[in-house]
Amino acid sequence: MTDKSRVTFLIVDDDSVAVMAIKRTLRKLRLTNPVEVARDGQEALDLLQGNGISPIKKPYIILLDLNMPRMSGLEFLAVVREDKELANSVVFVLTTSDAPSDIAAAYRHKIAGYIVKENASETISTAISMLDSYTEIVSFDK
Amino acid sequence: MGRRSLLFRLRAGAIFLVFSGLFSLCGVWYTLDWLGGKAKDLTTETSSLLQVTRKIPEMSLKVGSFPARLLDSTQTAELAEMRRETQITFSEIIPLASLVGENEGLDFKSGQSAFQDLLAVQEKFIAESTKIDALVNAEILRLNRMSRAIRQARSSVMLDFVTAAAETSERQSSVNVLFEFSEFESNVTTLIVLTQSLPTLPAEAALGLRSNVIRQIDAMTTTLGRLPESSERSALAKDMNNYRAAFLGLGGGFDMVVTLVTLEQSRRALLDQAIGFVGTLVDWSENVTSKSTADFEMALVNIQNRIAAARSIGVTVTLFFWIGCVLLFWYLLEMRLFRRLAGITGHIREMNDGHLSTALRVSGNDEVGEVEEAVDRARILARDLTDRNEELHRFAYVAAHDLRAPLRAVKSLISWTIEDHGDVLPDEARENLDTMDARLTRLSELLAALLDYARAGQVEEEIGVFDLTEFASDLRQVYFPDKNFEILIAGIPPVIETYPTPIQTILLNLVSNAIKHHDRPDGRIVLDAAFTPTGMRFRVSDDGPGIPKKYQDRIFVLFQTLKSRDDVEGSGLGLALIQKLAISFGGSVFVLSNPEVARGCVFEVHLPFGAAVKPFTPKEIAA
């Protein structure tokens, strides 16, 4: 449990209800990992690269929405995969878009999974329970 | 209009070519005909020339032989023959000469009359000579008789002299008589010789004999006078006188000779005239012959020149004609038609490949230009349509997607409220929240259906195999497992190669509709697939209430439902989506139902064969 709790979840989503839903699901699953929230890609980059603030400690899992202002999820992914420090980050795309073009574009950026927020709480719940097992792998990795 | 018609120009070009071909054919025909006429003229000219060149020398030779023959002839029959020949020859040569046309200085009439006069003179000459011959013969007989009479008289004198011993004087006189007789006899003999030589000598020489004859006759008269009177002497004297009369009298032998001399003179003059004519004739015939030959050669050269001219004209005309043809058709067909058609075809191919931004340059103000304009208009329309479609897709997608996010948020909030505070909420509030949740679910489904509709027809998957038998078992086991509906397959449906998802979506929606709109809790749905001559036909039949005829047009319209959404949960997009998918295959969908006659409803989907739909062949499994 101690190992697991060290993995930080970075939620990148501009929709506060979506963030609430994720947090609520994590709480329901009794995951006590630290949770950071960024409202768009740029903010998430600032958090990860420590631009003006202290960067998020590794290990972390990024839960990324695609459709956001300023810097979209796909743009964020492109920058992350170019950045040497961040290139190996574990990223799950958690979005409302089930457009095949979005899914294909996301997988081209080597994401760990693509979760469609179809039926809000249920899908998020199953998705995050899947994440739960993934956090263990990440923590072993460290 | 101001449009210049290419087709008109092509047709005009073709007509022009046909007519100029005919025209040049006429030209060739005319030239050949003209040459034929010329050759015929030459033949006519040549045949008369050949006649002239062949006959005239022959005739002039014949005419030339006339004088010599004439002089040789002594028979009147020969002369008559010659007269006939002369007439014939002249009657032949005169028309020939007039054919040649150039007979100046040649007087055939005077030539012919000279010949005829000559013949007449010769006839008279012969007649006169004959008369002389007859006279000479008669007189020589007379002279011979005289000679015999003298010899008789002398023998009787000699007998008297021998038998009678006559007186010396008598004897002397007898000797004298004998002597006289002898002299007379020698004179007669001389006269005979003279007379005989008369016809053999030329007339003028014969005339010279006259004085000899007179002298002889005088001598004989003297001798005769010396003879004693006797009967013999009288007879001899009579003969002498007769002879003299015959030769020296008026119209006698020597007058005849004089006539002969005159005839000979005129004959010589006429002969000169005739020979002169013959000379002129021979010269003329030589001239005519050489002139004819020259004319013939000139005519031949002329014809050769004309043939050469006709040939060079023909070659030039044909050459220009063909060059004109080649240039005209190269310009009209190659430059104005084929290249531009190739350009248009290439452009249409590019348009088919989706390159719609490059404009097609309009290359002329004619039919092809019109086609180019039309193609470019079609390109602009296609581009606009593509743009609009993309915009529409984007709009539908973004609208549906962006609408779902807040919807989901509200749904989440409602469910959290019920979850966290359901116990403390009044029942009414709780019910309202439940209704809100149900309506939100419906809205969400509507948006999902709208998104499906917007995306329908955008092929993004690989071609695969679709087998209705397998899909029917999926329908039974996966999609509608707990319904009281039988899902059956009629016969053994064929397997096709296609994009499976749209076909599945179509059939799934049709089966789902059949179940959803059924008026009984249980029923039977029959699926069936078959090849038609042009494509594939799917059929979904149910035993539900059917669709009244008057509504059948409306069911394919977007968001049209025949029942309240509270009675039957439906987006109103199912059939519109099916139709859109069928159309994206180039196919169609229609409904067969008549509730007034029978229950049930049949939906038929027709998909034509093509790249997206074709019969599956097991060979490709092996591959």
Q: Is A99 on the interface with B (CB under 8 A)?
A: yes
Residue A106 burial (CB < 10 Å; 0-12/13-18/19+)?
Answer: buried
Q: Is B151 on the interface with A (CB under 8 A)?
A: no
Question: A24: distance to nearest CA of chain B, Å?
Answer: 9
Q: Is A121 on the interface with B (CB under 8 A)?
A: yes
Question: B501: distance to nearest CA of chain A, Å?
Answer: 13
Put simply, the answer to whether A120 touches B401 (Cβ < 8 Å) is: no
Taking residues B560-568, report their average pLDDT: 66
- Give the nearest chain A residue to B405 (CA atoms): A96
Burial B90-101 (b: 16+ CB within 10 A, else e): beebeebbeebe
Distance (Å, whole) CA B550 – CA B227? 189
Q: Is B404 on the interface with A (CB under 8 A)?
A: yes
At A142 the pLDDT is 38
B84: its two tokens: 């006939």
Q: What phi, psi does B208 have (nearest 5°)?
A: -65, -20
Chain A residues near residue B405 by CB distance under 8 angstroms: 15, 18, 67, 96
Q: Is A69 on the interface with B (CB under 8 A)?
A: no
Put simply, the answer to whether B412 touches A120 (Cβ < 8 Å) is: yes
Taking residues A63-90, report their average pLDDT: 88
Residue A69 makes CB contacts below 8 A (sequence gap 6+) with A14, A40
Pairing of strands B496-498, B614-615: antiparallel
Put simply, the answer to whether B409 touches A121 (Cβ < 8 Å) is: no
Residue type (1 letter), B446? L
- Provide the 8-state DSSP code for B350: H
Question: B389: distance to nearest CA of chain A, Å?
Answer: 17
Say what percent of chain B tops pLDDT 90: 3
Distance (Å, whole) CA B241 – CA B492? 170
Best interface-test mutation with B: which of A119, A122, A124, A125 has the largest number of B CBs within 10 A? A119
**Predicted ipTM beyond 0.85:** no
Put simply, the answer to whether B411 touches A20 (Cβ < 8 Å) is: no
Chain A residues near residue B455 by CB distance under 8 angstroms: 99
Chain A residues near residue B408 by CB distance under 8 angstroms: 17-18, 96, 117, 120
Residue of B113, B102, B128 lying closest to B286 (CA atoms):
B102
Name the β-bridge partners of B497: B465, B614
Chain B residues near residue A15 by CB distance under 8 angstroms: 405, 409
Q: Which of A29-43, B44-58, B218-232, B361-375 has the lowest mean pLDDT?
A: B44-58
Residue of A30, A62, A86, A61 lying closest to A138 (CA atoms):
A61
With tokens 């005989």, the residue in question is B196
Is A4 a residue whose pLDDT tops 60? no
Residue B210 makes CB contacts below 8 A (sequence gap 6+) with B248, B254, B257
At B1 the pLDDT is 45
Put simply, the answer to whether A100 touches B411 (Cβ < 8 Å) is: no
Q: Is the pLDDT higher at B619 or at B194? A: B194
At B472 the pLDDT is 86
Residue type (1 letter), B60? S
Is A8 a residue whose pLDDT tops 80? yes
Chain A residues near residue B409 by CB distance under 8 angstroms: 15, 17-18
Put simply, the answer to whether A67 touches B404 (Cβ < 8 Å) is: no
From the list A17, A96, A100, which residue is nearest B401 (CB)?
A: A96
**What residue spans define the domains of chain A?**
2-141
Put simply, the answer to whether A120 touches B460 (Cβ < 8 Å) is: no
Q: Using the Cα atoms of residue A99, residue A104, residue A107 and residue A108 in order, give the sign of their dihedral.
A: negative
- Give the nearest chain A residue to B413 (CA atoms): A17
From the list A20, A96, A121, which residue is nearest B405 (CB)?
A: A96
Taking residues B294-318, report their average pLDDT: 83
Is A141 a residue whose pLDDT tops 50? no
Put simply, the answer to whether B412 touches A20 (Cβ < 8 Å) is: yes
Question: A119: distance to nearest CA of chain B, Å?
Answer: 8
The per-residue pLDDT for range B524-547, each reduced to its tens digit, is 889 988 888 888 899 999 988 888
Q: Is B413 on the interface with A (CB under 8 A)?
A: yes
At B603 the pLDDT is 92
Is B59 a residue whose pLDDT tops 80? no
Question: A96: distance to nearest CA of chain B, Å?
Answer: 7
Is B12 a residue whose pLDDT tops 80? yes
Chain A residues near residue B415 by CB distance under 8 angstroms: 120-121
Residue of B446, B403, B410, B401 lying closest to B569 (CA atoms):
B446
| Fold assignment, A2-141 | Rossmann fold (3.40.50)
Chain B residues near residue A100 by CB distance under 8 angstroms: 460
Q: Is A75 on the interface with B (CB under 8 A)?
A: no
From the list B397, B402, B412, which residue is nearest A17 (CB)?
A: B412
Put simply, the answer to whether A17 touches B401 (Cβ < 8 Å) is: no
The per-residue pLDDT for range B567-622, each reduced to its tens digit, is 666 667 788 888 888 888 888 998 888 888 888 899 999 988 887 788 887 664 44
Taking residues B315-329, report their average pLDDT: 86
At B178 the pLDDT is 82
Q: What phi, psi does B469 have (nearest 5°)?
A: -60, -45
- Give the nearest chain A residue to B399 (CA atoms): A97
Q: Is A28 on the interface with B (CB under 8 A)?
A: no
Say what percent of chain B tops pLDDT 70: 93
Put simply, the answer to whether B408 touches A97 (Cβ < 8 Å) is: no
Q: Is A22 on the interface with B (CB under 8 A)?
A: no
A37: its two tokens: 């929230």
At B623 the pLDDT is 42
Q: Is the pLDDT higher at B623 or at B108? A: B108
Q: Is the pLDDT higher at B312 or at A130? A: B312
Best interface-test mutation with B: which of A13, A14, A17 has the largest number of B CBs within 10 A? A17
Say what percent of chain A tops pLDDT 70: 80
The per-residue pLDDT for range B136-181, each reduced to its tens digit, is 999 899 889 888 888 888 888 888 777 766 667 777 777 888 888 8
From the list A67, A100, A121, which residue is nearest B412 (CB)?
A: A121
Pairing of strands B496-498, B464-466: antiparallel
Q: Is the pLDDT higher at B398 or at B506? A: B506
Chain A residues near residue B401 by CB distance under 8 angstroms: 67, 96-97, 99
Rounded mean pLDDT of chain B? Answer: 83
Pairing of strands B484-489, B614-615: unpaired
Sheet holding B522-531, edge to edge: B484-489, B522-531, B535-542, B601-608, B588-592
Band of pLDDT at residue B458, cut at 50, 70 and 90: low
At A11 the pLDDT is 92
At A37 the pLDDT is 92
Taking residues B49-63, report their average pLDDT: 75
> Is residue B241 a contact partner of residue B33, using CB atoms and an 8 Å limit?
no
